[in-house]
Amino acid sequence: MKNMVWIASLAVVFGCASGGQETKKSEAQSAQDQAHQALQAAADAQKKASGEQAKAEQMQEVVTQKQKELADAQAKLRGQRQKAQQAQLDAQQATQTAQQEARQEQQQASQLQKTQAQEMQQRNQQRVQEWTQQQNAQGTLVQAGSDQLQIRTQDQGLLKLQVTDSTAVTLDGHSSSVAELKPGSEVRASYQTVQGESKALTIDATSKSSGQSSSTPEQQPKQK
């Protein structure tokens, strides 16, 4: 009877020991599972962190590229502003040069106009002086017409004189007309030269029959 009680007690003790070991094993397994889950969660978190870090790096690259583009754009802007300022300075200098040249040209043109006016005035004065200057000629009448006559002179050769209504004509000391003058008569004339034409002022002719001295054909100079 005592043996049976001891065996029963031993079985209970053994059973309790076995149950405790199973309990500890179950707890260890649970701890391991929790540790595994924690590691897995940590790995997932690390993976997620790595992904976010990769995104952050990509965004950083984008920001860096944009900053570079901005820096390039700012450099171009500074360069363009400098070019614009230089172009403005060039334009101002060109304007000043053009204005200076225009003033010089205007002064030269004014001086040229003044010089031309003076030259023209001198020419006009000289022309008027020539036109109003009276000249005298003496020679033998070669030909006489209604509006002109020709005189052969010793110093001027053949002189053509235009006769107008204002020309004073005398023959042997009396008033006459050009039509009454005969070739061979001695002629004294005064005239003015206007634009290359000699206009007679006075004609004083002496006919051969008047008995006054006259030139013979042998004494007349040869026609030039």
DSSP code per residue over 144-212: E-SSEEEEEETTTEEEEEE--TT-EEEETTEE--GGG--TT-EEEEEEEEETTEEEEEEEEEE-GGGSS
Of 89, 109, 133, at which residue does a domain stop? 133
Range of the domain at 77: 50-133
Of 118, 133, 148, at which residue does a domain stop? 133
**Residue 196 vs residue 12, higher pLDDT:** 196
Q: Is residue 11 part of a domain?
A: no
Residues 56 and 128 in one domain: yes
Judge whether 180 and 207 are in contact, CB under 8 Å. no
Residues 123 and 145 in one domain: no
pLDDT digits (tens, 9 = 90+) for 148-195: 899 999 776 899 999 988 999 999 999 998 888 899 999 999 998 887
Residues 142 and 195 in one domain: yes
Residues 127 and 174 in one domain: no
Q: Average pLDDT, whole number, for the chain?
A: 81
Lowest mean pLDDT among 7-21, 72-86, 105-119: 7-21
Q: Is residue 199 part of a domain?
A: yes
Q: Is residue 38 part of a domain?
A: no
Of 133, 156, 173, at which residue does a domain stop? 133
Cα–Cα dist 14/22, whole Å: 12
